[in-house]
Chains A and B, each alone.
Chain A
């Protein structure tokens, strides 16, 4: 069974840091693009960041660029989101989600839609 389990959320003061983790199982983790998506209380979904299967390509929303860093450890089947300089508006449930890939004539293409989601971890930024 494909499974994603987020951890690392909690209460942090403005300006503080937090590192989220997402443990993956049930699929070949290193082959797939992965993303982080967040949802502020009572609001819609906001795409935060994504990373290719190899980790060689990373992408960020403007709202987090320069403050958040996405990474992955394919030997540990784990995705990370390092969050620095946190603000009140970063308060949200953070979801980890699995993307897709295909190989066409020897070239790997990654697709950043999300076909499997974790249950989320809550980050609260408040003094």
Chain B
């Protein structure tokens, strides 16, 4: 089973700042099958990024994904108030298709 470790656990930033979230895999994720999701309280998750770097439909270009192998990054170039949420990475290269434990992005 591939274990995904996200860091930091909590990230405190101000609107307008840049956010960098990390997702590290215990073994290589095949074909960069890595996705990122955003979840706000009381809501279902929303897909942001798939294939490590492809933005999902309707996702603003302030969100970008990068990485390969075992190290992946989600970057939000300029934080808007609505971006403060919990972010999860998920690998879908090999079953079980595991999630990371999440990074909470909070307003400083």
Contact = CB atoms under 8 A, between A and B. Distances in A.
Contact of A44 (B1, B95, B101): B101
Interface string A91-106: 0000100001000000
Interface residues of A, number: 23
Interface stretch (A13-21, A23-31, A72-80, A107-115): A107-115
Interface string B63-97: 00000000000000000000000101010100111
Of A60, A113, A119, A120, chain B has the most CB atoms within 10 Å of the CB of: A113
B19 interface: no
A25 B33 CA distance: 26
A45 B99 contact: yes
A86 interface: no
A120 B37 contact: no
Given A50-B97, A62-B1, A113 B44 contact: no
Given A45-B37, A45-B90, A117-B45, 18 more contacts: A37-B99, A44-B88, A44-B99, A44-B101, A45-B39, A50-B95, A59-B95, A60-B96, A61-B96, A113-B35, A113-B47, A113-B92, A114-B90, A115-B50, A115-B57, A118-B44, A119-B44, A120-B44
9 contacts: A37-B99, A50-B95, A50-B97, A60-B95, A61-B96, A114-B37, A114-B47, A114-B90, A119-B44
Interface of B: 1, 33, 35, 37, 39, 44-47, 50, 56-57, 86, 88, 90, 92, 95-102
